[in-house]
Amino acid sequence: MHIAFGMFPPDAGTVRVGGERLRLRSPRDARHNRIGMVHQHFTSIDHLTARENLALAVGRLDQNFEWGSGLLEGLAPATRVQDLSVSVRQRFEVAKALAAGASVLLLDEPSAAMAPSEIDGLLRLVRGFAQRGGAVALITHKLPEVFAVADRVTVLRKGRVTLQRLVGEQTQAELAAAMIGESGPGATDLEHERAGAGPRRTVAWLGSVSIQAGDLIGIAAVEGQGHRALLDRLAQAPGTAFVPEDRTTEGLIPEMTLTENLVLGRDRDPRWRKGFWLRWEAAKAHAGAVIQEYQVTAQGPDSMAGGLSGGNQQRVMVARALESRPDVLVVENPFRGLDLRATSEIRERLRNAARRGIAVLVYSTDLDEVLGLGERILVVRNHAVREAPRGADRQAVGRLMLGLDKEST
């Protein structure tokens, strides 16, 4: 995608649009040829307003945009981008590419941070764009999205094409096998034996709900209902490790090495602290061990965090959190932008953490992820927390999220 958008020069092959061979030396060349790209990581300037960022993307300041509808619904033009939620920022990135007049749209995990209702709207927009004559290349790890909108599918694994067909020519199972291989990690039984028998101690409170050691809790909430404030408050408590949803602005410093990122916030760890000094060789050895243990694809401890894929950045953040040996682990949207293998690996890491007695709380905009991982489900609505009944299905939890249950009404 970066080659097609003029960011990297190709080692081989050509880029053609409408049969015409293009020489793309920069993203400016790509935009001139009506190629637009939505990157996995946000490209807007945080301290500028939405209107200013959109004008920068289009290249003029006097354009009248249709605010308040479509992807821009609920977004005030004067809002600074840094004040937008991750979900709204993702919609805004797609709107920028479309506003610039792209006829070829490259989308890198555009639905990763969107709620299910927003994903449906995005997929309808993408399909309509193609039906009106546009061309779309959609990177996604969510198989339902492929079958919902795609005509053709190509699967890449470890840099090689493992499948290339019309979507109607294979099943989801065949597509998944091509993505993860025959020996991909599988799910395990959620009903597991926790470390240490007997009663579990209470390690935290979230609203009126007690959290006990070894709990594996899913957090369900509609955007704007206060879940972030509650989780932030919990994340600041002693003995808590936090894995934020935005990897490149909250989780990691892209311009620093993996060693430096893994030491961040843990400079007093005796494994690499001696008196007033940090023992960088010890820290680098630790980073090398983490890279191996968590299967991070990187050149080594001196690799820059910004050069890693989203999945490998997520592995680093989870590793840093777990290596701090917390009592409580709070994770936001841990599977955002991850392929099936990385998703399975992270999911199993969280389950293992709960087995070892860590209380694990996972928020996701994908309700199916919440239900599939959580042994207990907490619903946040109007800044209050309620626990869903054991065994509550998707519909029941959804009604709690919207306040449609009998107790709320």
**pLDDT for 183:** 43
What percent of the chain has a predicted confidence (pLDDT) above 90? 38
Domain boundary among 98, 125, 150: 150
Residues 374 and 387 reside in one and the same domain = yes
Write down which residue in 325, 350, 371 finishes a domain.
325
Contact by Cβ (8 Å): 21, 91: no
Domain range enclosing 349: 184-239+326-409
pLDDT at 63: 54
In the DSSP assignment, the letter for residue 100 is: T
Average pLDDT, the chain: 85
So what's the pLDDT on residue 184? 41
Q: Could you tell me the two tokens for 33?
A: 């040829």
The candidate with the shortest Cα–Cα distance to 162, out of 152, 173, 175, is 175
pLDDT digits over 206-233, tens only?
878 899 999 999 999 877 788 888 888 8
Q: Are residues 215 and 141 in the same domain?
A: no
379 DSSP β-pair partners: 220, 386
Give yes or no for residue 193 having a pLDDT over 50. Answer: no
- The DSSP-derived string for 347-358 is HHHHHHHHHTT-
Domain boundary among 325, 350, 377: 325
**Tokens 């917390």 sit on residue:** 326
Phi-psi region of 32 (alpha: psi -120 to 50; beta: other; left: phi over 0): alpha
Evaluate if residue 189 carries a pLDDT over 60.
Answer: no
Q: How far, in Å, CA of 18 to CA of 127, rounded?
A: 19
Measuring CA to CA, which residue among 341, 333, 400 is closest to residue 369?
Answer: 333
pLDDT over 80 (residue 110): yes
Report whether pLDDT(198) > 90.
no
Rounded CA gap, 185 and 187, in Å? 7
**Each residue's pLDDT tens digit, 328-354:** 999 998 887 777 788 888 999 999 999
At 187, the pLDDT band (50, 70, 90 cuts) reads very low
Task: Give the CATH number of the domain where residue 222 resides.
Answer: 3.40.50.300
Q: According to the model, what pLDDT value does residue 66 have?
A: 64
pTM, rounded to two decimals? 0.63
Q: Does residue 297 have a pLDDT over 80?
A: yes
pLDDT per position as a tens digit, 14-49: 999 988 999 999 998 998 999 999 987 788 999 999
Whether 296 and 233 map to the same domain: the answer is no
Contact 309, 341 (CB under 8 A): no
Mean pLDDT for 127-156 is 90
Q: What is the pLDDT, as a whole number, of residue 61?
A: 56
Range 112-124 average pLDDT:
76
Exposure string over 46-60, b if 16+ CB within 10 A, otherwise e: eeebbbbbbbbbbee
Q: Is residue 366 part of a domain?
A: yes
In the chain, the number of structural domains is: 3
Question: With the C-alpha atoms ordered 204, 206, 208, 212, is the resulting torsion angle positive or negative?
Answer: negative
For residue 46, tell me if it sits in a domain. Answer: yes
| Pairing label, strands 376-381, 216-221 | parallel
